[in-house]
Chains A and B, each alone.
Chain A
């Protein structure tokens, strides 16, 4: 990966994005494609056929050494004993107060080898925290982001598209397969962040442009971070910095499924167990527009009397539903189906409280 003079970082596919005349923007210090032809068309391509995303800005952290699995399992929230070698898991790294340093995907190779995919902007923090936590062990933490690229291929046609270019696929949801493609070692995991059947491919940076071109030739539509955001919001998936951060815990965000409560230890266990027992003051909920308006992050959510009951963490126009949707942290006692309003630049727009996803999930299809 290259670092330009103004220190904005480029992925190995940067010149492909420029050649496609993508709208580029700085995302956490990375020059990334926001959209190519348009967010709505790219969103629909993923829901109806197949899209591909360059997500090489995300971290690639290798963890290896005697007892790596056990050591990491004492730090991350989810329980790596719930999965087998060859499977991946959604998990989090919390601080002792229960706040979330990052949410990430952990790949389990064997008892001595793992790989983590943290968010782009949190990768350095994850590496630093794990190095600190694993100081007195024989386990090594290696930041391998610069050597790797990640391409997400998502949508109902993702499997035939990858078959067409000769990539070996894992069968089950959240399982991964390692093979070779065009001379490069590739790791293909049946995961993604769109709610569709899809795959994420991790490979050496040098092999990424050829894979991108082959996928394009097989019909995958390039999709930018704009569509990635509308797709994940429709599914109610959290984005760190919005639904999760140092102040928002997994209990508030409704991510208890990604916490190994029965495990002996993980970072933040005491604070999270206590909050789970007492019940959080606010919870992450879905809001769907009953009136006309598009909610955006940080807008205030108010009840029938106009009193503030929370705030929007992510809001967008849903291309699938053709209406405004939001994820919001609101008072825990508000019931599903309740009518609330969002203050859209001074105008109160009516919304109905709901349980995400807003659109049916197809990840296991």
Chain B
């Protein structure tokens, strides 16, 4: 359940670098499974500037709330607004239709600051 082509954060988010150099961000299968039924998503405002590691919203399930962190610094250029009406899409398809935001990075994308798929596997296996 951990796509090899994506990058990951210790906060259980995934990062996909697009052909145009922007990044798409979501939460992992592991994260959605731990949260349980997701019932509310609060996304950053359009055009908001986010800092690497800074808070950019919330995902809330029937049992707990989890903060979203920007994996890289940049500007929000797209938001998955369908999640406001259908937050359960994150549970059903965390790596696809359940994506959260697209960020235009400040400068280039440095994926060395993120986890590889194998490193993320090791992280979740360790609990």
Residues on A lying within 8 angstroms of B by beta carbon are 23, 34-35, 38-41, 226, 230, 292-294, 296, 316-317, 319, 324, 345
**With known contacts A23-B36, A292-B42, A293-B40, A40–B84 Cβ distance under 8 A:** no
Q: A226 vs B39: C-alpha distance in the bound complex, in angstroms?
A: 14
Residue pairs across A and B with CB atoms within 8 Å: the count is 41
- B residues whose Cβ falls under 8 Å from a Cβ of A: 36-37, 39-40, 42, 58, 60, 62-63, 65, 84, 88
Question: In the complex, what residue of chain B is closest to A293 when comparing beta carbons?
Answer: B40
How many Å from the CB of B70 to the closest CB on chain A?
A: 18
Contact A317 B36 (CB under 8 A): no
- Chain A residue nearest in CB terms to B39: A317
Partner of A39, one of B40, B42, B62: B62
CB neighbours of A345 from chain B (8 A):
58, 65
* With A35-B36, A40-B39, A317-B40: A292-B84 Cβ-Cβ less than 8 Å: yes
Quote the shortest CB–CB distance from A283 to chain B (angstroms).
Answer: 27
Q: A35-B36, A35-B63, A293-B42 are in contact. List 10 more A-B contacts (CB 8 A).
A: A23-B36, A38-B37, A38-B62, A40-B37, A230-B62, A292-B84, A293-B40, A317-B60, A324-B40, A345-B65
Query: Dominant SS at the A interface?
Result: mixed
Bound complex: CA of A294 vs CA of B42, how far in Å? 11
* A residues in contact with B58, CB < 8 Å: 345
Q: Do A39 and B36 touch across chains, with their CB atoms under 8 A apart? A: yes
| CB-CB under 8 A for A294 and B40, given A39-B63, A230-B62, A316-B62 | yes
CB-defined contacts of A317 to chain B, threshold 8 Å? 39-40, 60, 62
Q: What is the minimal beta-carbon distance from B37 to any residue of chain A, in angstroms? A: 4
| Cα distance A292–B43 in the bound complex, in angstroms | 12
Residue of A nearest to B62 (CB): A39
**Shortest CB distance B125–A (Å):** 19
Given contacts A38-B36, A39-B37, contact A294 B60 (CB under 8 A): yes
Query: How far, in whole Å, are A293 and B58 apart by their CA atoms in the complex?
Result: 10
- Listed from nearest, the 4 A-B pairs whose CB atoms lie closest are A317-B39, A39-B62, A40-B37, A38-B37
A-B contact pairs, 24 of them (CB 8 A): A35-B36, A35-B63, A39-B36, A39-B37, A39-B63, A40-B37, A40-B62, A40-B88, A226-B36, A226-B63, A230-B62, A292-B84, A293-B40, A293-B42, A294-B39, A294-B60, A294-B65, A317-B39, A317-B40, A317-B62, A319-B39, A319-B62, A324-B40, A345-B65
The complex places the Cα of A294 from the Cα of B58 at a distance, in Å, of: 11
Contacts of A324 in B (CB 8 A): 40
| Complex: A23 Cα to B36 Cα, angstroms | 10
Chain A contacts of B63 at CB under 8 A?
34-35, 39, 226
What is the bound-complex CA distance between A319 and B39, given in angstroms? 9
The answer to whether A226 and B42 touch (CB under 8 A), given A39-B36, A40-B37, is no
